[in-house]
Amino acid sequence: MSHSKLTSLQKLPLKVLLFISVCWQVHLLTKHLCTRSSRRKRITLFLQMTLMAFFYFFTVTTVVLFLYPAYSRENEEGKLLIAVFSPLIGVALKTISRVGIQRCWDLSHPRYSYVLLAPLYLGTAVTFRVLHADLGTLHSIALLGIIHGATEVIERSTIVVIDHVFHLFCKRTSAPWGSFRTPRRERLMADIAIMSMLYESTAIVSVNGFLYLYQLMYFREKDHPLTLLQTFAIHTSVELVIEWFFTRVSLAIETHYQNMTVMAVWRRR
């Protein structure tokens, strides 16, 4: 969309229709779930559910309209800098969403609460991997993969602390540290860890696959198909190996040091 000839004003109606569609679907779902509840409870549930869709919508809109055009105008060092710090937007929105989901006690069973976070986690993984794939050079991709993987380890390992601090900041009241290690939250954290690992690997393969398929379809005269396939295999393999290494590190921290039931949930599912 950033390379199309449509202006931002011409793209606006489609975005408005998409957002209205999401809100209307959530309204119908809220009406179905809260048939005998008060209007205040229905409004609260509607806001809790639309918050996740709005954050994903906000992230994609910000990247497409502002971040990616500025990213395209930079040189390789500038692109690398933007790609390093842009995922912080996703970290902030994920934290807000997790705290909101943990307050939806009567909305969903702990086994399925992660479903409400799936669009945001998958959307941010794919969106920010686009910036990685567009760097081009293997050195930059490997360096960014290491930085991104280390950041993921820190985020997954401190997810309970981050949510607890954010909860205290929003509520402006003190709460015991053990309040964010309840069985319900433990199950949600395990599901989020599994979801994050799967979505990051999926995003690496799908984004690189789309990028090189696009080059094969529209730039046939520049590169031989075997050359594109070889570049795709090398770049994807390097990113996957780096992601696998940091995934093992985060799993070791979560299962052996934090006693989170990530592997137990994985085996059951």
CA angle, corner 48, sides to 91 and 195, nearest 5?
45
Q: Is the domain of 121 the same as that of 222?
A: yes
Please count the structural domains in the chain: 2
Q: Is the domain of 206 the same as that of 132?
A: yes
The residue among 45, 73, 101 that closes a domain is: 73
The residue among 16, 43, 73 that closes a domain is: 73
Any domain includes 78:
no
Tell me the C-alpha distance between 10 and 6, whole Å. 6
Q: Is the domain of 160 the same as that of 69?
A: no
Q: Is the domain of 116 the same as that of 35?
A: no
Any domain includes 248:
yes
What is the domain extent for residue 126?
Answer: 93-268
Long-range CB contacts (< 8 A, 24+ apart) of 212-217?
none
Contacts of 20 by beta carbon, 8 Å cutoff, 6+ apart: none
Which H or E element spans position 98? Answer: helix 87-102
Any domain includes 2:
yes
Each of the 269 residues of the chain gets a pLDDT tens digit; together they read 445 577 777 778 887 888 788 778 877 877 777 766 677 777 777 776 676 667 767 777 777 777 777 777 878 778 778 888 878 877 888 877 777 777 666 666 667 778 778 888 888 888 888 877 777 677 888 888 888 888 888 888 777 777 777 767 766 666 666 666 777 778 888 888 888 889 989 999 998 888 888 888 776 666 677 888 888 888 889 889 999 999 898 888 888 887 888 888 888 87
Q: Is the domain of 165 the same as that of 241?
A: yes
Task: Tell which residue, 247, 244, 265, 59, has the closest CA to residue 152.
Answer: 247
Q: Is the domain of 142 the same as that of 199?
A: yes
Q: Is the domain of 127 the same as that of 247?
A: yes
